Structure 1
Amino acid sequence: MSHVANVMVSVDSDDRSGVEELSQWLQTAAPRRGFGPGAVGWVGSLDETTGGNTHWGGGKYPECDVYAGALNHADLAGLVAHVERISWEHPESVQLFVMDQDQAYFRVWMFHGAELRQIVPEGREEG
C-alpha cells in the first residue's frame, strides 16, 4: 500500500546543487516510513517545475526555481531534518512545502537563522 506526500521546494537559482543533493538523498538514503526502524532507501525524487520546458500561466517565465515530487513512504520529519542540514547558498530563500496523504493543504517550512521552522497561519494547528 502506498503512502504519498506531495513535496515542493522553492530555492534561489544558486541553490540548484542543494536540490540535486536532496533529490539524490530521496532516491538512495531517505528514511522510509512503515518499514521498521532504520529503514532507508528510495522514496521518490524531485524534478524542476519552472524550467524553460515548462508552461506556467501568464505571459512571463516564473522568477523562482521550484522543484516537486510525489514521495512514497517518506519519513517527513527526516525530510525536514535533512533539508535543514543542507549547505544552502541562500537559506533565506528556501521554502519547503509538504502535503502528506489525506491532508488538505501544504505545510510550509522556512529558515529562521540556522533552523528550519514551520510557518503556521493564525488559526491553523501545527503539525
Structure 2
Amino acid sequence: MSRIADVIVLAQQADEVMEPLTREDDTRTWRGTFYEMSPGGNWGFGWGAEFVRMHSRSGLLKHLESLPWPRPETVQVLIHDEEDDCFGLWMIHDGRLVEIPLPRTRRAYWSGPHNEEHPPDPGILSRTDHAPVDWPQETAGGDHSRPPAW
C-alpha cells in the first residue's frame, strides 16, 4: 500500500548513532536512508527520510528505540503520514518510543486487521480544532490493540 510518510529524527550528540542510517542496509526490516539536516552548513541534530510505502517503514520505530543514544532524553521522532493533518511526536519513555499526545489532535484507526498482505494501520492524525472531522466507526479512543505500523 502506498502512503508517503516523512520522518524527522531530532537527537543531541547522535551523529555516530545516526551515521549508519544514512546508508542503505538490506538487513534492516525497514528500507530507506536518512539525510542530515544542517541548515547553513552548520552541525545540526536532525535527520530526515521519506518513505513511499507502508511496508518500507515497518519496524522503523523498534529499530530507532534499540539504538545506543548518548542522550535518549533528547530523542524526538516526528512523523507525518500523507493522510495526517500534522506531524505526530514520538519520544523515548522507559526505553520505548511512544507517541506523545498533542493538544487538539486525535489519531483514528479504521482499516481492518493487518495480515501478510496488509501492514498494520498507522492511523491518521487529525487536528480537532480547525473543522469538523467525519470520524469513522471505531472503538472509543482508537484501536490501541493494533501493533504499531512503524
CA distance 1:92–1:84, shift in 2 (3 Å): same
Shift >6 Å, 4+ stretches: none
The answer (yes or no) to whether the contact 2:29–2:58 under 8 Å persists in 1 is no
Distance 1:103 1:29 in 2: 29
Give the conservation status (yes or no) of the 8 Å contact 1:22–1:83: no
Question: Residue in 1 aligned with 2:99?
Answer: 118
The equivalent position to 2:35 in structure 1, one of 47, 55, 60, is: 47
- Return 5+ residue gaps in structure 1 as ranges: 33-42, 54-60
Distance in 2 separating the partners of 1:99 and 1:110: 15
Greater helix content: 1
> How far apart are 1:27 and its partner, in Å?
4.4
Whether 1:3 aligns to 2:38 is: no
- CA distance in structure 2 between the partners assigned to 1:3 and 1:47 by the alignment: 20
Q: In 1, distance between residues paired with 2:32 and 2:2?
A: 12
Alpha-carbon shift at residue 74 of structure 1 (Å)? 4.4
Per-residue CA distance 1:22-43 (angstroms, 9 max, x = gap): 344x6434436xxxxxxxxxx3
Local SS of the residue matching 2:102: coil
Cα deviation, 1:35-70, whole Å, max 9, x if unaligned, reads xxxxxxxx32111112552xxxxxxx68x5111121
What letter corresponds to residue 100 of structure 2 in structure 1? I
1: distance between equivalents of 2:3 and 2:77?
Answer: 19
| Correspondent of 1:31 among 18, 29, 32 | 29
Give TM-score scaled by structure 2 length: 0.59
1:71 — aligned with what? Answer: 51
Q: Hey, what does 1:35 align to over in structure 2?
A: none
What residue identity is the alignment partner of 2:33? S
Does 2:78 match 1:85? no
* Identity fraction in percent: 25
Q: TM-score, normalised by structure 1?
A: 0.68
Calculate the aligned-residue CA RMSD, in Å. 2.6
Matched letter for residue 28 of structure 1: D
Change (3 A) 1:102 1:29: farther
Distance in 2 of aligned mates of 1:122 and 1:77: 27
